[in-house]
Amino acid sequence: MANITAQMVKELRDRTGAGMMACKKALQETDGDIEKAIDKLREMGLASAAKKAGREAKEGKVAAYIHAGGKIGVLVEVNCETDFVANTEDFAALCKDIAMHIAASAPLYVSKEDVPKEELEKEKKIMKEQLRQQGKPENILDKIVEGKIEKYYEEVCLLEQPFIKDDSLKIKDLIKNAIAKLGENIVVRRFARYKIGE
């Protein structure tokens, strides 16, 4: 068993923002290996992030982002549970990243649930017809359309889009990571994107 020093705990805290006891526990479980302890904390954090997702988020910020010499503007409302978290630099940075992402990627909806049913049915119909034209067999059309709908969600739903600064993360993962770090539920409530001439 490695000797877990206060210095090791401090370094892990500085690097992750996790609490002292959680850092100590993670270091004990990973035999003092800082890198493994970081992974462990992320796993623990994401697990607790899932638990926090049910809590009410009534505080937060409206962030604004103006792009391309004033040609594109975004307003986004991001909610959290307390004004303490709403006023942190980490929360402000998250809001700015989300607003910038919206400016660049032009989503139409926040989440899959926000896509109107008739819109979805229309898309499925078009996809099916295209597949028929390509000569795909009728019995596998629904299966192919299912996969294509996932791709469609990635194009039009903010939470499903790959983050413009790091496409290995979807926006929903970016938010989950922030929940794990800040310890509160975080929700993108709504957004508006304006483009000159549209």
- The pLDDT tens digits of the residues spanning 118-175 come to 999 999 999 988 888 888 888 888 888 888 999 999 999 999 999 999 999 999 999 9
Alpha-carbon distance of 125 to 149, in angstroms, equals 11
pLDDT at 14: 72
**Burial group, residue 169, by CB count within 10 angstroms (0-12, 13-18, 19+):** middle
| SS3 (DSSP) at 165 | coil
| 106/164 same-domain check | yes
Q: Are 66 and 46 members of one domain?
A: no
Structural domain contains residue 101: yes
Model pLDDT for residues 74-132, shown as the tens digit of each residue: 999 999 998 899 999 999 999 999 999 999 999 999 999 999 999 999 999 999 888 88
Contact 158, 191 (CB under 8 A): yes
Pairwise CA distance, residues 14 & 37, whole Å? 13
Q: What is the DSSP string of 97-139?
A: HHHHHHHHH--SBSSGGGS-HHHHHHHHHHHHHHHHHTT--GG
Per the structure, the count of domains in the chain is 3
pLDDT value of residue 90: 95
CATH of the domain at 121: 1.10.286
**pTM here?**
0.70
Residues 105 and 170 occupy one common structural domain: yes
Do 175 and 105 share a structural domain?
yes
Residue 34 is part of which domain span? 6-52
pLDDT digits (tens, 9 = 90+) for 51-68: 666 667 789 999 999 987
Question: For position 16, what pLDDT does the model report?
Answer: 67
17 or 86, higher pLDDT = 86
- The reply to whether 141 and 76 lie within a common domain is no
Q: Are 101 and 171 in contact (CB under 8 A)?
A: yes
2: pLDDT strictly greater than 70: no
The CA distance from 161 to 191, in Å, is 15
Mean pLDDT on 2-30: 81
Question: Helix H segments across the chain?
Answer: 6-16, 20-29, 34-52, 83-86, 89-105, 117-133, 141-156, 171-182
